[in-house]
Amino acid sequence: MTTAYASPVGLPMRSWQAGARANAGGIYIIWYRDLLRYWRNRTRLVSSLGQPLLFLVVFGSGLSASLGAGLTKQLGDVSYVRFIFPGIVTMAVLFTAVFSAMSVVWDREFGFLREVLVAPISRAAVVLGKALGGSTVAMFQGAILLALAPILGVSLDPLLVLKLLGLMFLTAFALSSMGILIAARLQSMEAFQMLMNFLIMPMFFLSGAFFPLRGLPAWMSVITRFDPVAYGVDPMRRLLLGADLAPGITIAGYHLGTAEDGLILATFAAITMVLAVWAFEGQE
């Protein structure tokens, strides 16, 4: 909405440059606020690491013992803990991104959203700032977990870390946008709890974090193809553990590579972003 206004006599015109500058300032400060709040709220920082770690330890150690030969045949000599590690990192990214986006619901409840919605910046700037904030925070959170890689025998080099950060940011951006789209119309924190149980958890479980997305029942296979998180887990696993363990999601017989995964995530992000802006525009 960086339109120039026909100015009444004697009033200064608001040029599109001024509008663009205000929007850029708005995006920056909304992003910065998310970082500030993340940094200030260190209990959240720690507790949202706790859950992925718990999954890693409990499932990693507990399941691998009882899964037996079937899994070993697929995984080769990679331990189950190592296998789910990329999924666990993605989990941290997913949860942090969605939680960050959901702070919109809190802001609505505590009134701060009005301060944002009545500001002379476009809704697109609001949504973009928020999504960037959530993505940055989620990327940090993923990076912290990534530091465990050497312990699990996964070696990291600077270029790989850079690629992983980029991937995590893109995944987080897609999921933040989705979160904001939902939060734009979500009325209460109770509703958010529902959402966690019936959307976010399934999205995580069906993402291929715990099992390879091959040889699944047909119905499940179809669902997983619609799970955006899957397109974050697959390339992450490929980057960390090699293409043998992550041969790519197949759609109609076609194996998707890392670039295609990224493209799907970006498309998903773009669509949810546009819808989120639209959802906010419609609000009074």
Partner 1 sequence: MSSIEVVDLIKSFGPLTAVDHVSFRVEDGEVFGFLGPNGAGKTTTINVLCTLMRPTAGRARVAGYDVATQRNAVRQSIGLVFQDPSLDDQLTAYENLQFHAHVYDVPGRERAHRVEEVLRVVELWDRRDAVVRTFSGGMKRRLEIARGILHHPRVLFLDEPTLGLDPQTREHVWEYILEVQRAHHITIFMTTHYMEEAEHCDRIAIIDVGKIVALDTPDALKRMVGVDIVTVQSEDNERAAREIRERYGLEPQRDDTRLRLEVEAGAEFIPRLVRDLGVAVRSVDLHRPTLDDVFLKLTGRAIREGEADPLALMRLQGRLWRGGRR
Site for partner 1, rule CB under 8 A = 1, 3, 5-8, 10-11, 14, 18-19, 21-22, 25-26, 28-30, 33, 36-37, 40-41, 107-108, 110-122, 187, 283-284
Nearer to partner 1, 5 or 198 (CB): 5
Q: Give the C-alpha distances (Å, rounded to integers) separating 8 from 11, 13, 121, 166, 201.
A: 6, 8, 21, 47, 54
Least Cβ distance, residue 30 to partner 1 (angstroms): 8
Helix, strand, coil fractions of the chain, as percent rounded to 5: 75, 0, 25
* CA–CA distance, 43 with 267 (Å, rounded to integer): 33
Please check whether residue 155 is in contact with residue 125, taking contact to mean a CB–CB distance below 8 angstroms.
no
| 127 within 8 A of 83, measured Cβ to Cβ | no
Output the smallest distance, CB 62 to partner 1, in A.
37
CB nearer partner 1, residue 17 or residue 267: 17
Rounded least distance, CB 103 to partner 1, Å: 10
Closest to partner 1 by CB, 40 vs 73, is 40
**Closer residue to partner 1, CB minimum distance, 41 or 51:** 41
CB proximity list for 119: less than 8 A, separation 6 or greater: 26
- Closest separation in Å from C-beta 110 to partner 1: 7
CB of 35 to partner 1, least distance (A): 11
Beta bridge partners of 250: 255
Residues 6+ apart with CB under 8 A from 246: 86, 234, 235, 237, 238
By C-beta, is 33 or 225 nearer to partner 1?
A: 33
Asked if 141 contacts 93 with a C-beta cutoff of 8 angstroms, the reply is: yes
Q: Please state the closest distance from residue 24 (CB atom) to partner 1, in A.
A: 9
Query: 53 or 119: whose CB is closer to partner 1?
Result: 119
